[in-house]
Amino acid sequence: MSKVAVIGVGQSAFVRSYPGSIRELAFEAYREAMKDSGLRPNQIDASVICSAPEYDKQRTPSGLMAEYLGLNPQPTFYVESVCSSSSSGLRAAYGLIGSGLHDVVLVLGFQKMSEISSAESQERMGRGADIQWEAPFGTMMPAYYAMYARGHFEKYGTTEEDLGLIRLKSSTYGVINDKAVFRKSLTLDKIMEPKYIASPLKMMDCCANADGASCVILASAKKAKDLVARPVQVIGLGMATAPINMAGRDTFSGLRCAQIAGKRAYEMAGIKPSDVDVAEVHDCFTIAEMMAYEDLGFAEPGQGKELIRNKETYKEGKIPVNVDGGLLSKGHPIGATGGSQIRTIVLQLRGQAGEMQVPNAKIGLVHNIGGVGIYGNVSIFGVE
Amino acid sequence: MGFEQFGIISFTGTTKTEQFVEFLKANELKGTVCKECGAKYFPPRSDCSACLSDQMDWFPIAGEGTLISFTKAMFAPAGFEKDVPYMLGVADFADGVKVFGRIDRSLPDDVVKPGMKVKVRAVDLGSDRLSYELTKA
């Protein structure tokens, strides 16, 4: 019996440069989630605010957000695990509700990345790895994931074109997602243009920075039934960590934190990978989605390439993955990403995903990674 | 002068492991080994997470390692732009010790591949700055 359910979801459009301040950006997601749930602000017992702080000029954003969203005097605090911050926020909210401390908790994720240049942004992301021992070499996220791509190619014979097929799938759905930053249709030729960022990863293997916000409202399963017609149950939560520096890693063809988090989430939910009807995985780079297929057990290690070659992760396939365009098309506003993934899965399980709808989806999974596999969050949702 | 001399840009000024830089000046790359339980660490640590000891010795990263993976970065974060392109890699050495760092930029592209035998060496970056890199063994 699940203890906690999602009763409202919202997301701002993800855009290159949001024409407003962080509080206004956050309000867009909040307004949508509140309208979705039908709740009034005085029904929110506490809030968890999630972002990656190095982008925020505002010190201690939680206080600002609680005030602007109209949630004073209820408790609020900040949760951070870089790119998986709002999934960690979900985990914190689950604890607050499951423990009986609160009945209704709101998780708000946001990031306004456009306030700094792309190079500065890369520098900050590089500092999301070990600053004492690795950042002095000039590290950045694409270079780290590129080493995993090379490791995967070497071990399993995966190719650059296999990764290109993942981007091609992403663009198929990005085109129909009106909240995505990248909505252009792509061809494999265009994707395979040799514009290397960090070999073997090319321009189109990388997601774009974006500004965005997401909001998820959770309630105890008991209370949820009284508040909304169609609560979506949180049935499994798994989180795991791995060494922040590359020298401490024991594999370069998969993310250990995702493998362990997935196992924990499946155990809690009492399901197998084959029970999942629709999944959102953290495709900050194409290789990240390839590894997710294997780390989550949708394919055996090394067989992820067969899934994408056979289009099994398209909407019509065996296990639809990122049929909202994923991070590659939606964009990746760090703190907002997990909540956006959760929103997609909740809409899918309610049958409200429109053109992206996977027929009869009952169990959905969110895989949200922080840093290059420092934090792995896997969350599983279900409806009757 | 201490640890701020390590790397192209150092983000860390003070660490109990700053002797690392002195070893680089002598063309030695060293990790730490716990005097109590023998756990080996690279990059070096001043505290043992296996047995909680703070009694550490230094040991050299010597001999041949094997390149596990690498990338050639065509873009760089702020402060490193003039270096591109540059290669980063990670290699396996004896006793399960792994080393991450830059790869010798004089190596031709077709030589650098996973499985390549490598060794480490200190690099004088000029202006009193030091680093290390992986090069062909």
The CA distance from B9 to the nearest CA of chain A, in Å, is: 5
A13 and A25 assigned to the same domain: yes
Residue of chain B whose Cα is closest to the Cα of A142: B73
What was the pLDDT predicted at A351?
Answer: 98
- The answer on pLDDT for B4 being more than 70 is yes
**Domain end position, chosen among A168, A197, A231:** A231
A194 and A92 co-located in one domain: no
Q: Does residue A155 share a domain with residue A77?
A: no
Residue B78 has a pLDDT of 84
Cα A268 to chain centroid, rounded: 20
- Domain match, A180 and A79 both: no
Predicted model pTM: 0.97
Mutant choice from A137, A144, A241, A250 vs B, greatest count of B C-beta within 10 A: A137
CA distance B57 to B55: 7
Q: Is the predicted pLDDT of residue B1 greater than 60, yes or no? A: no
Same domain membership, residue A373 and residue A313: yes
> In chain B, what are the domain boundaries?
3-136
One domain, residues A44 and A93:
yes
CATH code at A135? Answer: 3.40.47.10
Contact A249 B7 (CB under 8 A): no
Residues A330 and A221 placed together within one structural domain of the fold: no
Q: Does residue A156 share a domain with residue A81?
A: no
Q: Which two tokens stand for residue B66?
A: 């094997």
How many domains in chain A? Answer: 2
CB contact under 8 A, B73 and A135: no
Sheet containing strand A211-220, strands side by side: A76-79, A46-50, A104-112, A211-220, A4-11, A232-241, A375-382, A363-370, A278-280
**Is pLDDT of B121 > 70?**
yes
Same domain, A105 and A226: yes
State which residue of chain B sits closest to A150, comparing Cα positions. B69
Rounded to a whole number of angstroms, the distance from the CA of A49 to the nearest CA of chain B is 28
Nearest C-alpha in A relative to B98: A247
- The residue out of A179, A197, A231 marking a domain boundary is A231
Beta-carbon separation of A252 and B71 below 8 A: no
Same domain, A110 and A132: no
Mean pLDDT by 10-residue block, N- to C-terminus, for chain A (384 residues)?
Answer: 92 97 98 98 98 88 97 98 97 98 98 82 76 93 97 98 98 97 97 98 96 98 96 98 95 98 98 98 98 98 98 98 98 97 98 97 98 97 94
Indicate whether A93 and A176 sit together in one domain.
no
Contact residues, chain A, for B86 at CB < 8 Å: 138
Whether the Cβ atoms of residue A378 and residue A261 lie closer than 8 Å to each other: yes
Q: ipTM of the predicted structure?
A: 0.96
Smallest Cβ distance to A137: which of B3, B7, B70? Answer: B7
- The region that residue A361 occupies, defined by phi over 0 for left and psi between -120 and 50 for alpha, beta otherwise, is beta
What residue numbers bound the domain in which A100 lies?
4-116+210-231
User: What pLDDT is stored for residue A115 in this prediction?
Assistant: 76
Cβ-defined contact of A247 to B73 (cutoff 8 Å): no
- Give the number of C-alpha atoms closer than 13 A to the C-alpha of residue A335, restricted to the C-beta side: 29
- How much is the pLDDT for A384? 84
CB contact under 8 A, A136 and B86: no
The confidence score (pLDDT) of residue A1 equals: 61
Does residue A365 share a domain with residue A243? yes
Burial of A271 (0-12, 13-18, 19+ CB in 10 A): middle
H/E/C letters for each residue in chain A? CCCEEEEEEEECCCECCCCCCHHHHHHHHHHHHHHHHCCCHHHCCEEEEECCHHHCCCCCHHHHHHHHHCCCCCCEEEECECECHHHHHHHHHHHHHHCCCCCEEEEEEEEEHHHCCHHHHHHHHHCCCCCCCCHHHCCCHHHHHHHHHHHHHHHHCCCHHHHHHHHHHHHHHHCCCCCCCCCCCCCHHHHCCCCEEECCEEHHHECCCCEEEEEEEEEEHHHHHHHCCCCEEEEEEEEEECCCCHHHCCCCCCCHHHHHHHHHHHHHHCCCHHHCCEEECCCCEHHHHHHHHHHCCCCCCCCHHHHHHCCCCCCCCCCCECCCCHHHHHCCCHHHHHHHHHHHHHHHHHCCCHHHCCCCCCEEEEEEEECCCCEEEEEEEECC
Q: Which residues of A are identified as catalytic?
A: 83, 332
Round to whole Å and give the CA distance between A243 and A245: 5
